[in-house]
Structure 1
Amino acid sequence: MSTTDDELRRRKYEEALEVKSLRRIISAYINYPEAAEDDVKRYERSFRRLPVAHKALLTHLPLKYQKLRRCISKNTFFIFEMLKAFEPPVDMSQDDDVCDHLDDGSCGHVHAHSEDRDPCCGSASISGRSHSNKSGEVCAGHEGKNGNCCEPESGNVAVGLECQKDTHKDGCDNATCVKDQNSHDSLTVANKDTSSVPPESPDYFESMPHFHVPLVDVDKVRCVIRNIVRDWAAEGQKERDQCYKPILEELVRHFPERSKESPPTCLVPGAGLGRLALEISCLGFISQGNEFSYYMMICSSFILNQTQDVGEWTIHPWIHSNCNSLSDADQLRAVSIPDIHPAGAGITEGFSMCGGDFVEVYNDPSQVGAWDAVVTCFFLDTAHNIVEYIEIISKILKDGGVWINLGPLLYHFADMYGQEDEMSVELSLEDVKRVAIHYGFKLEVEKTIETTYTTNPRAMMQNHYFSAFWTMRKVGTGVQESMDE
């Protein structure tokens, strides 16, 4: 078989794996209402088992369960509208059952989008981004350089465009792009009353096979709903002030002159739902967010590109936990999103979101010295090999460029017990700084900032981090200091 045939076979294989993975993620979104209804039925079964005298003390609970169903319906309406707007980057109708027919054993060696280890859904570990997991349960991979991005075009906000690439975007092929938009022709009718009619699956996906997925996948959907509050609700402003404001202030301090003719460039790996990358763009930077999680990408694309008004949607992010609630009203409370109109926020020309694995997209010759700044927020600990992350950040920064970081070191793959091939290198903060110095960085600012992550501000239990914050400047690859033994 020729090299060309081998490459074509590999590309078809990887695309089929991506279809399989994306189908599972879409299925998780579609399964959300059924899984939530199962929870409510479980609550009702427990209530029915109470002694009559105890039920008499809790006569309000049946009404609460009906309110929960209305809240679930509101969330489902948002999710299905989001799915209807989603344009898959691959042909979702194709046969994805390729692993069983592969004869070279490479299925287990392709990056998976299964994301079985989702850090923001754990009860005791909330930290940043979901990331790739080489799972035997789902095999999936990106074609080519593992990315989706492009420059914005004129007119309305656009998704999935063919792109003219420049030095900042050569690792990417298709995209979520946002264009500044000061006005729009029509507004979507917000917050329709869906409480009495169970939502149905989007018509767009009726012809696409979907299936029941493990509850851990549906938990990722619930995680995304909580992340929406962090990035796109007024209720998330406190967290954004904790995490994003110090980063934005450092960028302004280091780049006081931001010319419209030649704006500085800033990359935001692990961009999640895109708010930080958008805020950086609004400061006058050519900003690009990079995100690996399809769960996040589907949602960020919808909010960035389809939103037509402030407060257009209503969600109920806290309904899936009965623990640590001060009151039923707190648990059931509604949140309006978004708190700003993304396309009308004053973004700088060139803002984009690039989907793909950070290492595969940016460890590319076209990215060397391409960025004036790199911002990492709750991102470093998503690495299998944090040294590789730091090395790539050093490569893609210009000499004199700055790296601004905020976050803990809750290594996402540290507890992958029983998976011997799952690599995880966990360094102390001291070692992380030593590695950075080796790769040509000079520490200029360092402090500890207390932060939360997707925390319910009214809950009786909240996880707080004493996050490491720093600004490092790349002083040049010729000024590296040797690592200690």
Structure 2
Amino acid sequence: MEEDDEQKRRRLKLEEALEIQSLRRIITAYLNYPDASEEDVRRYERSYRKLPPVHKDLLSHYPLKFQRLRRCISMNTHFIFSMLQAFEPPLDMSQDLDLSGDSHAECAQKDHLASQGINACSCESAPVRIPCCQQDGVEGSNDTCRSPVLLHANKEVDMESNHQSNAGSHPLSSIPTKQSEEYSGSAMADSNDNVSPSGQHWLGPSFQFNVPLVDVDKVRCIIRNIVRDWAAEGKNERDQCYMPILEELNTLFPNRSKESPPACLVPGAGLGRLALEISRLGFVSQGNEFSYYMMICSSFILNHSETAGEWTIYPWIHSNCNSLSDSDQLRPVSIPDIHPASAGITEGFSMCGGDFVEVYNDPSQVGTWDAVVTCFFIDTAHNIVEYIEIISKILKDGGVWINFGPLLYHFADMYGQDEMSIELSLEDVKKVALHYGFEFEKERTIETTYTTNPRSMMQNRYFAAFWTMRKKSAAVQVPLE
């Protein structure tokens, strides 16, 4: 028994060390954003200097464009560093990471980084309660959101850029002096120039390490996702994707009780807008997200936004392709388009960080939810059959599963990596759903985009599957043909 306890302690210590290591990597990717972006601009400048004089004369406005790009990068960096400064890590980031003492550490570390996972036990770890927002420095007042955001420390896995390979490593160079002093130092000045300890020692350079360039690409992906969820420019996409879901929920639960509202789970909640909109309808809504890139950003917008339009970002500056004009590429976007604290959410709104399978494949979750909403989510699975099985388990008898999205399986093209990936056709997905006790009520195809620049010359479109399925009472599994 003593040996078993010792092995368990060593295992938990290793898991925590791996989680800290992965979270540091994500923080470093965010911190590396300005340097990686500056290197891009320098590359543009080098190409421009190679032009013959007659061609340079035709593009005499380019040096000004490069300076404008730098100002846009600076504004994005200000938002990112403000977000990091507000982030409260679920673990002690100042811990010394020594993985050499465990004989299994090297193998575990390779497996861990291969999946970019944070291998912690989500159901056993206590949630970190973060106020949904603060207003006038008072927590829990009537002017704040009525429930905390619950963050469970767990896994970070790849998101939209999972098809990309690690094409190289970009060392973290020094953060510009002014930004370093403001965001990574031990003190910050308030609006009255009073200096106070920041407490964010984990942002210091001693806790950072080299990250692949693909990690910085994920930061750029987050900036585009912000537009989709929290900007007026993303309204068209939200209307295409979220509105059918919200209308269906409103129809299926017409007489919602304020005293006992129906409970809806949103796996793959991303930056939290859909979960918030469901809460505004009068549901107890919980978003679930496993990407720390997403969780850090959603927590900042939900918890720390003081007004609508508080921040300005430039989401389209990192692509020179398919631009109608420089002004389109360099145009600003204001966020958030609404103030989350004033959005009229239902008490019980929360965000739960962790891998969907690990968090919800737990006996305590069986028959808990009246509705499960999956939007651009089910194709993130290593094993989509397991996703469907868990959705069936956690729904109450008669509960509904509303799905919207394509089948762009995220692990389908992980060449050179032995990643499990079960890639079913839509027809097979439906057969599996019937096996786990679902019956179709509605089904149609909806055309939509995903984090697309609305002014780009290239518009990738999905013909997304939208359905409502109901879990039969006393669900009976039917054999697959």
- Tell me the TM-score range normalised by the shorter chain: 0.7 to 0.9
Displacement of 1:149 in angstroms is 6.4
Distance in 1, matches of 2:365 and 2:129, equals 15
1:317 is matched with 315
1:437 is matched with 434
Q: Is the CA contact 1:16–1:140 (under 8 Å) kept in the aligned structure 2?
A: no
2:227 is matched with 229
Q: Is the CA contact 1:267–1:371 (under 8 Å) kept in the aligned structure 2?
A: yes
Which amino acid is 2:140 matched to? Answer: S
1:199 to 161, 179, 195: 179
2:332 is matched with 334
Moved more, 400-409 or 472-481: 472-481
1:12/1:158 CA distance change after superposition, 3 Å: farther
Which amino acid is 2:437 matched to? Answer: G
Identity over aligned pairs, percent = 69
Distance in 2, matches of 1:13 and 1:467, equals 41
1:56 is matched with 57
Distance in 1, matches of 2:286 and 2:417, equals 34
1:458 is matched with 455
1:149/1:359 CA distance change after superposition, 3 Å: farther
Displacement of 1:142 in angstroms is 1.8
Displacement of 1:419 in angstroms is 1.4
Query: What is the correspondence of 1:123-142 to structure 2 with a 5 Å cutoff?
Result: 134=115, 140-142=118-120
Q: SS at the partner of 1:43?
A: helix
Distance in 2, matches of 1:251 and 1:273, equals 20
Q: Is the CA contact 1:111–1:140 (under 8 Å) kept in the aligned structure 2?
A: no
Q: Is the CA contact 1:151–1:352 (under 8 Å) kept in the aligned structure 2?
A: no
Q: SS at the partner of 2:286?
A: strand
Distance in 2, matches of 1:415 and 1:55, equals 41
1:105/1:77 CA distance change after superposition, 3 Å: closer
1:186 is matched with none
2:71 is matched with 70
1:401-434 deviations in Å (ceiling 9; x for gaps): 00000000000000111112x1000000000000
Q: Is the CA contact 2:381–2:410 (under 8 Å) kept in the aligned structure 1?
A: yes
Q: Is the CA contact 1:92–1:208 (under 8 Å) kept in the aligned structure 2?
A: no
1:327/1:173 CA distance change after superposition, 3 Å: closer
Distance in 2, matches of 1:111 and 1:253, equals 45
2:347 is matched with 349
Q: Is the CA contact 1:451–1:467 (under 8 Å) kept in the aligned structure 2?
A: yes
Displacement of 1:140 in angstroms is 3.5
Distance in 2, matches of 1:367 and 1:403, equals 15
Distance in 1, matches of 2:265 and 2:29, equals 30
List gaps (5 residues or longer) in structure 2. Answer: 132-138, 155-175, 186-199
1:259-285 deviations in Å (ceiling 9; x for gaps): 110000000000000000000000000
Displacement of 1:150 in angstroms is 5.7
1:319/1:207 CA distance change after superposition, 3 Å: closer
- Across the aligned residues of Structure 1 and Structure 2, the Cα RMSD in angstroms comes to 2.3
1:113-171 deviations in Å (ceiling 9; x for gaps): x5xxxxxxxxxxxxxxxxxx525xxx64123437746697833459988x8xxxxx9xx
Q: Is the CA contact 2:14–2:105 (under 8 Å) kept in the aligned structure 1?
A: no
1:80-127 deviations in Å (ceiling 9; x for gaps): 0000000000000112241x4321368438984x5xxxxxxxxxxxxx
Q: Is the CA contact 1:268–1:376 (under 8 Å) kept in the aligned structure 2?
A: yes
Q: SS at the partner of 1:479?
A: coil
1:447 is matched with 444
1:476 and 2:457 are equivalent in the alignment: no
Which amino acid is 2:73 matched to? Answer: I
Displacement of 1:5 in angstroms is 2.2
Distance in 1, matches of 2:153 and 2:37, equals 36
Displacement of 1:360 in angstroms is 0.1
2:19 is matched with 18
Q: Is the CA contact 1:109–1:134 (under 8 Å) kept in the aligned structure 2?
A: no
1:439-463 deviations in Å (ceiling 9; x for gaps): 0000110000001000000000011
Distance in 2, matches of 1:249 and 1:149, equals 32
Distance in 2, matches of 1:107 and 1:284, equals 47
Distance in 2, matches of 1:395 and 1:344, equals 34
Query: What is the correspondence of 1:75-94 to structure 2 with a 5 Å cutoff?
Result: 75-94=76-95
1:341/1:92 CA distance change after superposition, 3 Å: same
1:244/1:258 CA distance change after superposition, 3 Å: same
Distance in 1, matches of 2:282 and 2:336, equals 22
Query: What is the correspondence of 1:240-389 to structure 2 with a 5 Å cutoff?
Result: 240-389=238-387
Distance in 2, matches of 1:197 and 1:101, equals 37
Displacement of 1:6 in angstroms is 2.1
Moved more, 102-111 or 201-210: 102-111
Distance in 1, matches of 2:147 and 2:40, equals 35
Displacement of 1:219 in angstroms is 0.2
Moved more, 19-28 or 475-484: 475-484
Displacement of 1:209 in angstroms is 1.2
1:196-235 deviations in Å (ceiling 9; x for gaps): 9963353321265112311100000000000000000000
1:447/1:322 CA distance change after superposition, 3 Å: same
Which amino acid is 2:472 matched to? Answer: V
Q: SS at the partner of 1:250?
A: helix
Q: Is the CA contact 2:365–2:394 (under 8 Å) kept in the aligned structure 1?
A: yes
State the aligned residue count. 431
Which amino acid is 1:233 matched to? Answer: A
Distance in 2, matches of 1:54 and 1:27, equals 39
Which amino acid is 1:145 matched to? Answer: C
Q: Is the CA contact 2:122–2:358 (under 8 Å) kept in the aligned structure 1?
A: no
1:124 is matched with none
Displacement of 1:11 in angstroms is 1.4
> Normalized against structure 2, the TM-score is what?
0.85
1:437/1:149 CA distance change after superposition, 3 Å: farther
2:140 to 146, 154, 162: 154
> Normalized against structure 1, the TM-score is what?
0.85
Distance in 1, matches of 2:147 and 2:280, equals 20
Q: SS at the partner of 1:398?
A: strand
Q: SS at the partner of 2:211?
A: coil
List gaps (5 residues or longer) in structure 1. Answer: 115-132, 164-168, 175-195
Moved more, 470-479 or 71-80: 470-479
Displacement of 1:343 in angstroms is 1.1
Q: SS at the partner of 1:2?
A: helix
Q: Is the CA contact 2:148–2:350 (under 8 Å) kept in the aligned structure 1?
A: no
Distance in 2, matches of 1:379 and 1:474, equals 19
Q: Is the CA contact 2:28–2:208 (under 8 Å) kept in the aligned structure 1?
A: yes
Displacement of 1:8 in angstroms is 1.9
